[in-house]
């Protein structure tokens, strides 16, 4: 029997469940390795070579190199792990979150100052014809 | 005997810690956040708790995907602030309370909650930001802290019902501890926020304020809310709010006197309530509930 996943119709959202975690195990563990300063330095010196030390898929490696966080999440990444890449790049959490929305950094910051993204129209896939 | 005198609820946004540590607390953006905790810092100085039982979640810091405990109790003598990639926060080492922690672990496991016992662990912003908000920037934290980490990173997280019932078991454990200690239970995380995907930046004031209302007056009803409602209404990371129910379940009015537990007490007294948007990507919510004098 398939698992109950009542959250699949939440728009613009990927829930990090057991299936995603399994897919993203090595991607997330690579991110975790960036908690150590020595590893951050080695990654920065040659990103591709560092990624090749991990049994990640080619798609996952390309998504990391492109800093395409939405793609990383599709491929099993979790935002708290991916945040280690952002920290390595010197990015704030707000810059990282904003980068996934298609908005500019300023637009995203202004949206948050104005009270954030509204819930109306953002509960179910299809509400906004997306 | 030890007693739980109050519960505290607060968001634990990392940017709040970063702002405080960088000396930006006085900037208008952050002043609006810290103003909500002025009362709380005075209250903490008056209350003088002996131990804080601090419910929080680790954010891929102490726990990677190698091990994902649903409930982990910190039984060590001390816990160092973690390096989360930016260097450790310049805050005091967290002193534990190994005797009470071990007592709670044994009692709560015997009440059918399978805790993971952790004797070595660094603590991240989930634990240190609430301490900073409530205590300011002291040379040492005012009392020992028992860290209690809940998995809210990998779905499914524990249900609201399970969290509330766990709080009741913690109360029973504390009240059976043979030393006269003033214990506070804190629940942290939330409120509405989403840090990932095209829906990042979601904030839901109406949900958050209704959540605060129900935390005060209807914890049993609130505990029945399914996960998907948190995710849909409060954002994928808003699910952290289930942790507040652990602290709420530890208040005496939730006990109901069931299965040999302590008799139900009166509704708690609301000492403080605060809500503000935004701190970085997040809605900040804060409550202080005190046990009412009988």
pLDDT computed for residue B87 by the predictor: 84
ipTM of the complex: 0.95
Among A85-94, B193-202, B281-290, the least confident range: A85-94
Q: Is residue B86 very low, low, confident or very high in pLDDT (cuts 50, 70, 90)? A: confident
Q: How far is B201 from chain A (nearest CA, A)?
A: 5
| Contact across the interface for B281 and A97, Cβ inside 8 Å | yes
Q: Which two tokens stand for residue B16?
A: 């709040």
CB atoms within 10 A of CB B190: 29
Domain boundaries, position B139: 3-290
Q: Which two tokens stand for residue B89?
A: 């926060």
Q: What is the pLDDT of residues A6-54, one digit of tens each?
A: 999 999 999 999 999 999 999 999 999 999 989 999 999 999 999 999 9
pLDDT computed for residue B264 by the predictor: 83
Q: What is the pLDDT of residues B169-206, one digit of tens each?
A: 999 999 999 999 999 999 999 999 999 999 999 999 99
Query: CA-CA distance, A76 to A26, in Å (whole number)?
Result: 9
Taking the whole predicted model, whether its pTM rises above 0.90 is answered as: yes
The CA–CA distances, whole Å, from B99 to A78, B78, B116, B246, B292 equal 36, 12, 16, 21, 28
Query: CA-CA distance, B268 to B253, in Å (whole number)?
Result: 7
Tell which wins on pLDDT, B259 or B145.
B145
Summary mean pLDDT of chain B: 96
Rg over alpha carbons for chain A, rounded to the nearest Å, is 16
B226 touches chain A (CB under 8 A): yes
Residue B258 has pLDDT above 60, yes or no: no
Q: Which two tokens stand for residue B74?
A: 């910190």
- Which CATH number, 1.10.10.10, 1.10.3720.10, 1.10.700.10, 1.10.10.410, labels domain A18-89? 1.10.700.10
Residues whose CB is less than 8 angstroms from the CB of residue B168 and which lie 6 or more positions away in sequence, other chains included: B249, B250, B254, B255, B261
Q: What is the pLDDT of residues B204-248, one digit of tens each?
A: 999 999 999 999 999 999 999 999 999 999 999 999 999 999 999
Q: What is the pLDDT of residues A47-77, one digit of tens each?
A: 999 999 999 999 999 999 999 999 999 999 9
Catalytic residues of B: 125, 193
* Domain tally, chain B: 1
CATH of residue B91: 3.40.830.10
Summary mean pLDDT of chain A: 95
Domain boundaries, chain A: 18-89
* CB < 8 Å from B in window 49-68 of A: none
Q: How far is A27 from chain B (nearest CA, A)?
A: 10
pLDDT computed for residue B255 by the predictor: 86
HSE-up of B125 (CA within 13 Å, CB side)? 21
The CA–CA distances, whole Å, from A73 to A3, A118, B181 equal 20, 23, 46
Which DSSP helix (H) or strand (E) runs through B107? helix B98-110
Q: What is the 3-state secondary structure (H, E, C) of B272-294?
A: EEEEEEEECCEEEEEEEEECCCC
Q: Which two tokens stand for residue B176?
A: 């059976």
Across B261-278, average pLDDT = 90
Query: CA-CA distance, B37 to B13, in Å (whole number)?
Result: 14
| % chain B with pLDDT above 90 | 94
Residue B126 has pLDDT above 60, yes or no: yes
pLDDT computed for residue B262 by the predictor: 57
Find how far residue B272's CA is from the centre of its chain. 16
Query: CA-CA distance, A86 to B181, in Å (whole number)?
Result: 43
CB atoms within 10 A of CB B217: 12
Q: Is residue A2 very low, low, confident or very high in pLDDT (cuts 50, 70, 90)? A: confident
| Contact across the interface for B281 and A13, Cβ inside 8 Å | no
Residue A130 has pLDDT above 80, yes or no: no
DSSP B54-74: EEE---SSS--SS---SEEEE
């Amino acid at each position: 029997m398939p698992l109950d996943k009542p959250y699949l119709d939440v728009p613009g959202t990927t829930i990090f469940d057991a299936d995603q975690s399994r897919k993203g195990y090595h991607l997330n563990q690579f991110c975790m390795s960036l908690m150590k300063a020595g590893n951050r330095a080695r990654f920065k010196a040659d990103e591709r070579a560092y990624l090749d030390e991990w049994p990640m898929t080619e798609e996952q490696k390309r998504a990391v190199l492109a800093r395409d966080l939405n793609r990383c999440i599709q491929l099993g990444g979790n935002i708290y792990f991916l945040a280690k890449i952002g920290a390595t790049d010197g990015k704030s959490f707000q810059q990282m979150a904003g980068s996934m929305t298609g908005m500019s950094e300023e637009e995203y910051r202004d949206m948050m100052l104005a009270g954030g993204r509204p819930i109306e129209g953002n509960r179910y896939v299809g509400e906004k014809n997306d | 005997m030890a007693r739980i005198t109050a519960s505290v609820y607060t968001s634990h946004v990392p940017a709040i810690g970063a702002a405080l540590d960088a000396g930006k607390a006085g900037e208008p953006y952050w002043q609006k956040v810290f103003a909500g905790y002025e009362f709380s810092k005075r209250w903490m100085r008056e209350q003088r708790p002996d131990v804080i039982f601090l419910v929080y979640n680790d954010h891929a810091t102490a726990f990677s995907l190698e091990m994902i405990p649903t409930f982990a109790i910190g039984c060590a003598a001390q816990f160092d602030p973690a390096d989360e990639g930016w260097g450790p926060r310049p805050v005091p080492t967290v002193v534990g309370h190994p005797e009470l922690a071990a007592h709670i672990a044994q009692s709560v496991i015997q009440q059918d909650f399978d805790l993971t016992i952790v004797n070595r662990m660094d603590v991240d912003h989930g634990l240190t930001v609430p301490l900073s908000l409530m205590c300011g920037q002291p040379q040492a934290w005012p009392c020992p802290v028992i860290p209690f980490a809940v998995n809210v990173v990998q779905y499914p997280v524990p249900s609201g019902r399970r969290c509330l019932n766990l709080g009741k078991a913690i109360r029973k454990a504390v009240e059976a501890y043979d030393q006269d200690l003033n214990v506070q239970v804190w629940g942290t995380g939330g409120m509405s926020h989403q840090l990932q995907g095209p829906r990042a930046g979601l904030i839901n004031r109406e949900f958050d304020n209704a959540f605060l209302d129900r935390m005060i007056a209807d914890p049993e009803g609130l505990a029945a809310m399914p996960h998907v409602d948190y995710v849909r209404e409060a954002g994928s990371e808003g699910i952290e709010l289930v942790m507040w129910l652990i602290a709420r379940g530890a208040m005496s009015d939730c006990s109901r006197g069931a299965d040999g537990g302590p008799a139900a007490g009166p509704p708690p007294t609301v000492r403080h309530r605060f809500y503000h948007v935004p701190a970085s990507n997040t809605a900040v919510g804060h409550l202080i509930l005190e046990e009412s004098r009988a």
